[in-house]
Amino acid sequence: MILPPENAFESIDLGYLSNIYSSRKMEQALKENIHFMWLSAMSRPDHNTLNRFRSERLKGEVKAIFTQIVLLLEKEGLVSLETTFVDGTKIEANANRYTFVWGRAIKKHQVRIAEQLEELWNYAESVAKEELQNTENIDFKEIDSEKVAQTINKINEVLKDKKIPSKVRQKLNYAKKNWANNLDKYKKQQAILQARNSYSKTDTDATFMRMKPKVREFH
């Protein structure tokens, strides 16, 4: 039995409204769900037919179709286009605190890099004071990736021929490889955060919010 285009669209539309996006699951629903069966006029298209209709026939047409539906509803007096309402419903996401970027953590990491950079600089001065005596004073409270890279390179340069503990050398190597890149990353994250305290890594518009536990009522 051939599935008419209007029935195919209604079936796919119902699938979306039911959180069914897979063509295979739609195919199954058309065989088992009475609502889908009624909309499809009891025809049972396979998933390939649904996919072709969705990707070929509906491509670029969905917006126009829904615009026509809204205008029809407005014409029948069922909706008004004069006022727009924004839904402020809070929806709990399937995510945990570790999938979020936190503004407080970014600031903490930035401060930690500045502190460690100052420690390395002070160590370099204690070991190679003469080589650094004509160097301009560094404000470690105001650092960026460029300043960090330049400072690390300068420290490496003056300590190049010095005998220093392996831990210091390892820290310098780590700093050269990571700190400047990390600061650039934090800068981008802060641009996304703006005035918020957090955002989701998978959806940058989402903000972490603690949900109040549901309280059961006993009668």
Tell me: do 125 and 179 sit in the same domain.
yes
CA distance linking residue 219 with residue 217, whole number of Å: 7
Tell me: do 20 and 108 sit in the same domain.
no
Tell me: do 45 and 122 sit in the same domain.
no
How confident is the model over 29-38, as pLDDT tens digits? 999 999 989 9
CA 206 to mean position of chain CA atoms: 8
How confident is the model over 88-140, as pLDDT tens digits? 666 666 656 668 899 999 999 999 999 999 999 889 888 887 777 667 777 88
The number of domains in the chain is 2
Tell me: do 121 and 167 sit in the same domain.
yes
The answer to whether residue 81 sits within a structural domain is no
Listed residue (137, 148, 155, 136) closest to 187, CA to CA: 148
Listed residue (139, 144, 156, 141) closest to 182, CA to CA: 144
109: domain range?
Answer: 100-200
Task: Write down the pTM of the prediction.
Answer: 0.53
Instruction: Mark out the alpha helices in the chain (DSSP H runs).
Output: 5-17, 23-32, 34-39, 47-52, 62-75, 103-127, 129-132, 145-159, 166-193
Between these two residues, 96 and 45, which has the higher pLDDT value? 45
Tell me: do 117 and 179 sit in the same domain.
yes
The answer to whether residue 216 sits within a structural domain is no
The answer to whether residue 213 sits within a structural domain is no
How confident is the model over 168-181, as pLDDT tens digits? 999 999 999 999 99
Pair 49, 55: CB distance under 8 Å: no
